[in-house]
Amino acid sequence: MAKSVKGNAPPKPEQKFEYLDHTADVQLHAWGADLKEAFEQVAMAMFGYMTTDYDSIDMTQSLEIEASGTDMKSLLFQFLDEWLFAFCADAFFFPRVIEITEFDRDSFHIKSVGWGEPFDLKKHPQGTEVKAITYSNMQIHDADGHHEVFVIIDI
């Protein structure tokens, strides 16, 4: 359940993602200084696709999410799926910023926190509904100076 933010939410990070056309779906492409940032950015890309004005989301509440996988791709899938589930199940909580607080690459486990507010059609312009995360053509590139992910979402 989302709770009121104690203290200050982090600043809004620079946008490091884009949307690529894909037959009947959308491919999210995100990058960062490291793989952790690329994962954060792809989660924000998913939510950014669900509104036409991401800047209208205020950071008045926070929500913590954990995800585990058996490898890096399943970790990415579960991370995004947990955030999508939180949106559907937790009063439409819509994060403006998502920060990974623990990223265990050996045991494939993530703890994260999102800052945002419940989605409200009176305040937030609706984008396109994301129905599901897919493994289709999922890519994770993690090398020195090259950290990016590609994820196709079902819309």
Tell me the domain boundaries of the chain: 3-7+17-154
pLDDT band at 19 (very low <50, low <70, confident <90, very high): confident
First to last CA, the chain: 25
Q: What would the mean pLDDT of 116-120 be, rounded to a whole number?
A: 92
Is 0.95 surpassed by the pTM of this model?
Answer: no
Contact by Cβ (8 Å): 77, 133: yes
Q: In this predicted structure, what is the pLDDT of residue 61?
A: 92
Which position has the higher pLDDT, 54 or 133? 133
Sign, Cα dihedral of 121, 83, 149, 99: positive
3-state helix, strand, coil in the chain (%, to 5): 25, 40, 35
Which position has the higher pLDDT, 2 or 55? 55
Contact by Cβ (8 Å): 78, 68: yes
Cα 111 from chain centre: 13
* Per-residue pLDDT tens digits for 30-67: 999 999 999 999 999 999 999 888 889 999 999 999 99
Q: In this predicted structure, what is the pLDDT of residue 52?
A: 83
Cα-trace Rg, the chain: 14
Q: Which residues contact 72 (CB under 8 A, 6 or more apart)?
A: 105, 108, 140, 142
Q: Say which CATH topology domain 3-7+17-154 has.
A: Archease, Possible Chaperone; Chain: A; domain 1 (3.55.10)
Contact by Cβ (8 Å): 1, 87: no
